[in-house]
Amino acid sequence: MLGRFTKARIDQLENEVGAGTVVVNCAAGGWTSHDGARRAQVIARLAPDVVVLSFGTNDCAPERLVGLDSFAVHLHAIIEAFPLATVVAFLPPSVAEQDGVGPRGRTNAVLSSYRHALREAVSAGRALDTDATLGALVAMGAPVHVDGLHLTDEAYGLVIPALAKLIKAA
């Protein structure tokens, strides 16, 4: 989800967090936790104050499945690479399922396990529950996912202030 953080979204997050905030987005669309773990030591050289993790949606895709145990190992490796930073999580939102299956074979039941592992890795108080944040949008019947998987501009408009609040509380 963070791989689609455009300049406008980064600018909004910087403004929401406050003056002097610089956001560096090191996410890439399609990455799994394995990709993040491979690069964590290099990214850690930036010495950030806060690191936002968002993994799980790609990890649970059947064609590139990262087992849940490996997922947890990767998360811990990433977190350990940032010993001086506060690590928070942008939990992956549910996918739009049709007949019990989401895009490329993902299911919310499986994604929930990955979401839980990410929440546990950073602690519940440092995890943004995107589904809860998007609840009002879903209740209005507005589309949340453009392709059944990614957030719309309107959805990012709701989660960015919530993410900023989480960052400021960290």
**10-35 pLDDT tens trace:** 999 999 999 999 999 999 999 999 99
Name which of 122, 142, 132 is nearest 94 in CA terms: 132
At 161 the pLDDT is 97
**52-83 pLDDT tens trace:** 999 999 999 999 999 999 999 999 999 999 99
pLDDT at 146 over 90: no
Alpha carbon distance 13, 161 (integer Å): 7
Structure pTM?
0.94
**38-48 pLDDT tens trace:** 999 999 999 99
